[in-house]
Structure 1
Amino acid sequence: MSRNTGSQPRLDPDKIVVSALDIADTEGLGAITIRRLAQEHGVTPMALYRHFRDKDDLLDALAARLLDDIRLPEPTTAPWDEQIRAVLAACLAALRPHPTIAGLVPTRILLSEPGLTLVERTLALLAEAGYPPAQATEIGSQALCSLVTLVATEPGATESTDPDTRDTAVRAKRAALRALAPQRFPHVLAAANALTLCADRDSYYDLGIDFAVAGIRGIRPTGRTT
């Protein structure tokens, strides 16, 4: 019989983050714990604390991972609003696969190099459009939050990843809507399918980006009178 020497496998912080991401994607953010991750990697919780001070530090790393997945387009000579749209589309492409943790990004965007790069690029484009720094910051922040909301509230996106379980939940929601009084809620009844499941995800997200860009265009830069 071999003896247990007490040695533990060498931990790779990147692999811990990947494991946390997988747990969040399948079970939700609340399922992530230091103890759970330690079990996943066959080590004691104390071994994880050598890499992450606490759970909040781990969540910072998760947000940094999402931001690092953003593939910003190269700057071009296109109008600023077209470039802003391309930047928002790049952000959305990184957030869409991870609706349960997308909300970590806005409050942690300044804690990593990829996040700072995204902020600098966005503020530069808004400065080109004539927005002063304080106003540009608010616009950029709200645009990012609108993307997070799109991802987190996509109809049907938060249901179980198991197809049968998801279909059962969607059918139950549709049945509840169709039981409403048609005299009071005729439009809700007509939209019951769309309200419970996103039929065309690409169109849903394209429309969301269009709303964000159109909203930015409609805001007058502070200090301008025309």
Structure 2
Amino acid sequence: MAGPRSRTRALTSERIIEVATRICDEEDIEVLTIRRLASDLGVGAMTLYSYFRSKEEILDAIADHVMGAFRLPAAEETSPAAVVRDLALAFLEMMREHPSMVRLFSTRVNTTPESMRGAFEAVIGRLREAGFTDGDAVRVYGLIVQYSLGFASYQAPRPWGRPGLPDAEELRRQRRHFYAALPQGGFPNMVELADELTALPSDDQFRFGLECLIEGVLRRVPAGSAGDAASTTS
């Protein structure tokens, strides 16, 4: 629930989306209702309808807000491989900071100038600057978003793979025990590889897949760019 101080802040569209985003990220999209949002803001439910016509409109605004706030990672390395790697990691971080985006990305298309400029236009521009031309930049953008989105959705319900969580190691131990305790006759591979299986939702797995993706991408860029990029991965 919002504290007394936050309730005294002036009500604006931006404030409504800020609180709605917090509810979705910290709890769940299903928890967000007009009544719950109004309660956290300290206003009547009907007041919100003068800003947004429905929950769906609020969800669109959340996606626009988060995508519009996406910031390109610092361009410390500008080779194609380094750019793809940095962008994929940045998208994964955005989706972990805002877990609601995994579902919002999967259920709606955002076309506001803010969202397109932050997580679309600027990203494609960075890819073109790195040497990807014409359709290659668009296709690589798609690969980055789709791979990051898919991994974030896989990792979200498997917290033993998340770095930095205080109970991640204990959860991983429990999962390892679960796999190892399966009937040997029916699951010989899973029993023998119990430890390795617990790493599937880890960031190491994300990076492994990302390097495989980059290796494939580099085969499709112009020879000069591919040569420059390959030197960064050797």
Asked if structure 1 preserves the Cα contact closer than 8 Å seen for 2:73 and 2:86, the reply is yes
Which runs of no fewer than 5 residues in structure 1 stay unpaired? 1-7, 222-226
Higher relative contact order (CA 8 A, sep 6+): 2
Which residue in the other structure is 1:182 paired with? Answer: 184
The amino acid of 1:153's aligned partner reads Y
So what's the TM-score if we normalise by structure 2? 0.68
Which residue in the other structure is 2:142 paired with? Answer: 141
Residues 67-216 of structure 1 mapped to structure 2, 5 A cutoff: 67-74=67-74, 78-105=78-105, 107-127=108-128, 129-133=131-135, 136-154=137-155, 156-157=158-159, 171=174, 176-193=178-195, 195=197, 201-216=202-217
Asked if structure 2 preserves the Cα contact closer than 8 Å seen for 1:156 and 1:196, the reply is no
The amino acid of 2:66's aligned partner reads L
Which runs of no fewer than 5 residues in structure 2 stay unpaired? 1-7, 223-234
Compute the displacement of 1:196 (Å).
Answer: 5.1
Compute the displacement of 1:202 (Å).
Answer: 4.2
The amino acid of 1:61's aligned partner reads A
- The C-alpha deviation readout for 1:144-184, integer Å capped at 9, x for no partner, is 0211121121162399xx988xx68984x655534422233
Query: Which structure has the highest helix share of the two?
Result: 2
The amino acid of 1:13's aligned partner reads S
Asked if structure 1 preserves the Cα contact closer than 8 Å seen for 2:70 and 2:94, the reply is yes
Give the whole-Å Cα distance in 1 for the aligned partners of 2:33 and 2:173: 29
- The C-alpha deviation readout for 1:24-70, integer Å capped at 9, x for no partner, is 23322211111210121222222112222211211122112322442
Compute the displacement of 1:119 (Å).
Answer: 1.8
Q: Report the secondary structure of 1:87's partner residue.
A: helix
Which residue in the other structure is 2:231 paired with? Answer: none
Which residue in the other structure is 2:230 paired with? Answer: none
The amino acid of 1:189's aligned partner reads V
* Bigger shift: residues 209-218 or 78-87: 209-218
Q: CA RMSD in A?
A: 3.8
Give the whole-Å Cα distance in 2 for the aligned partners of 1:9 and 1:220: 51
- 1:16 counterpart = 2:22: no
Compute the displacement of 1:113 (Å).
Answer: 1.9
